[in-house]
Amino acid sequence: MEEKENVIEEIKELLNNRKYHELKDILDNIEPADVAIVFEEFPDKSLPILFRILSKEHAAEVFVELDSDMQELLISGFSDYELKEVLEELYLDDTVDIIEEMPANVVKRILRHSAQDVRESINEILKYPKYSAGSMMTIELVDLKKDMTVEDAFMRIRRTGVDKETIYTCYVTDENRILLGLVSVKDLLLAEQNEIIGDIMEQNIIYVNTLDDQEYAAQTFEKYDLLALPVVDKENRLVGIITVDDAIDVLQEEATEDIEKMVAITPTDKPYMKTGVIETFKKRIPWLLLLMILSTLTSGIISMFEESLSVCVVLTAFIPLLMGTGGNSGGQSSATIIRSMSLGDVEMSDILKVIWKEIRVAFICGIVLAVANFAKMMILDSANIVANGYSPALIAAVVSLSLLVTVVFAKLIGCVLPMLAKKIGFDPAVMASPLITTIVDAISLMVFFNIAVMILKI
């Protein structure tokens, strides 16, 4: 942290004194991701100067790390020549990522200044739906033929590998680009020079289809500990590869998305600090409104029992306790199930096992909570209850019994709803805490008032 402040101070001073050579030395020795962080501290007008100071290759790496607003700003200031120079240094999948965030006129300009073959490849990848494996792949890979020797393979890697994002897994294809096998550079290094690729290649290949979901592709990396994953089309032709750094980004995005849905926010790709007030508002208000309207249900239930409540006002004091504990119990179950489904630990076929487990956990939790609550009410609330003309033990029994029933209902709903949502094709994360809490609120009130009416005969 402090180091970062010092570096920024130093850069500011060098920039003000136009000591560009020293500035270049400093910036070229900072990792691209960190240069991007440093750039954020400077006003927009300094950006083009700072960027032009960077050495050519470093500049392209930094460009990829900048956020899309800064990228757009820089592109609009680039001469055609400069734009071309940066584009030439970029990996194809990074270019596609950048294009996806740019307005149409900038996209056109980028495509116009890309080499013909690059332009065709970009258009190829842009064809795939957002969030598909095809949209996150790069087509830059090292491909080999079955009858090559290890020596041939190394020659090919040396000749073509400079521009490829990863060379450590090479893919063996036939004349129709059908994927036949793969061979890692480690295998190549440990093999004899005259061995034939077809003999040493791994034919058990893990791959995804272009239209597979990006989350599925990312989870495949996690499951099989991969560095790269081939992407094939419907005819099993190799069209590209996904690299592990992009898989990590997708896994992180998906976890963030789950969390956002779990607290009733419409997911966004943008980091918090980059999202405007109005945009943040728009992501949050629909769910708040919907949930508020749903809570009309609970108001209705309370109104229904208004007479009983006015007879025994002391019951009102325990509504928040019941609703709160119910909501928390249901929230625990739903979040656990949602995350377990995301990680692939729980599948639809497990539903009966899940329900049976949650019921048992709920009973134990419910009994402990009921006993604790009974004791607490007898100690802390009995004076107030007596003052209202009721027996403390009776009121405590009503509340504790309601608590037990509520917890069981809450945990059951908390585990069943996300799984049902998935069954009918919705995202389970939508069935998270806030929605479940609202449903559990209504149920807990019905349970509470009915038990109260029965036992207290009000």
Residues 81-100 that bind a copy of itself (CB under 8 A): none
393 binds a copy of itself (CB under 8 A): no
Residue 233: Cβ within 10 Å count: 14
Q: How far is the CB of 387 from a copy of itself (least distance, A)?
A: 9
Start-to-end C-alpha separation, the chain: 64
Going from the C-alpha of 222 to that of each of 52, 204, 226, the distances in angstroms are 39, 18, 7
CB of 382 to a copy of itself, least distance (A): 12
| Subset of 415-434 contacting a copy of itself (CB under 8 A) | 433-434
- Pairwise CA distance, residues 304 & 264, whole Å: 29
Calpha distance 323→329 (Å, rounded): 10
Residue from 227, 351, 355, 455 touching a copy of itself (CB under 8 A): that is: 227
CB atoms within 10 A of CB 347: 12
**Span 268-297, contacts to a copy of itself by CB under 8 A:** 271-273, 277-278, 280-281, 284-285, 287-289, 291-293, 295-296
Per CB under 8 A, the list member of 40, 57, 69, 245 interacting with a copy of itself is: 245
Give the C-alpha separation, 133 to 238, whole Å.
Answer: 13
Tell me: does residue 352 bind a copy of itself (CB under 8 A).
Answer: no
The answer to the question of residue 448 lying near a copy of itself (CB under 8 A) is no
C-beta separation of 408 from 322 below 8 A:
no
104 is a site residue for a copy of itself (CB under 8 A): no
User: Does 251 sit near a copy of itself (CB under 8 A)?
Assistant: yes
Q: Using CB under 8 A, which of 108, 345, 393, 454 touches a copy of itself?
A: 345
Q: Which is nearer to a copy of itself, 111 or 328 (CB)?
A: 328
For residue 112, state whether it binds a copy of itself (rule: CB under 8 A): no
Residue 210 engages a copy of itself in binding (rule: CB under 8 A): no
Helices (H), 196-318: 197-200, 214-224, 244-262, 277-294, 296-304, 306-311
Tell the smallest beta-carbon distance from residue 448 to a copy of itself (Å).
12
- 113 near a copy of itself (CB under 8 A): no
Interface positions, 308-337, toward a copy of itself (CB under 8 A): 309-310, 313-314, 316-321, 323-325, 327-329, 331-332, 334-337
* Number of residues this chain uses to bind a copy of itself (CB under 8 A): 110
Letter string b/e over residues 404-424, b meaning 16 or more CB atoms within 10 A of that residue's CB: bbbbbbbbbbbbbbbbebbee
CA atoms of 209 and 226, how far apart (whole Å): 16
Dihedral over alpha carbons 407, 413, 414, 415 (to 10 degrees):
120
Q: Any contact of residue 386 with a copy of itself (CB under 8 A)?
A: no
How many helices (H) and strands (E) are present in the chain, helices listed first?
A: 24, 6
Whole-number minimum distance, CB 79 to a copy of itself, in Å? 29
Q: Which is nearer to a copy of itself, 78 or 373 (CB)?
A: 373
Contact 148, 156 (CB under 8 A): yes
Q: Please choose, out of 77-85, 104-112, 208-216, 258-266, the segment that lies near a copy of itself by the rule CB under 8 A.
A: 258-266
Q: What is the smallest separation between the CB atom of 373 and a copy of itself, expressed in angstroms?
A: 7
**Is 445 near a copy of itself (CB under 8 A)?**
yes
Helices assigned H by DSSP within 377-391 = 382-387
- For residue 386, the minimal CB distance to a copy of itself (Å) is 13
d(CA 47, CA 77): 10
Q: Check residue 368 for interaction with a copy of itself (CB under 8 A).
A: yes
Beta carbon of residue 277, minimum distance to a copy of itself (angstroms, whole number): 5
Q: How many CB atoms lie within 10 A of CB 117?
A: 9
By rule CB under 8 A, what string of x and - marks binding of each residue 139-178 to a copy of itself? ---------------x--xx--xx----xx----------
How many CA atoms lie less than 13 Å away from 50 in the CB half-sphere? 28
The residue whose two tokens read 């943040």 is 280
Residues 176-205 close enough to bind a copy of itself by CB under 8 A: 185-186, 189-190, 204
From the list 90, 154, 121, 100, the residue with the least C-alpha distance to 240 is: 121
User: 74 or 407: whose CB is closer to a copy of itself?
Assistant: 407
Applying CB under 8 A, which part among 18-26, 45-53, 193-201, 303-311 lies near a copy of itself? 303-311
Site for a copy of itself in 19-78 (CB under 8 A): 29, 31, 33
Distance of CA 414 to the CA centre of its chain: 22
* Tokens matching residue 210: 């272009």
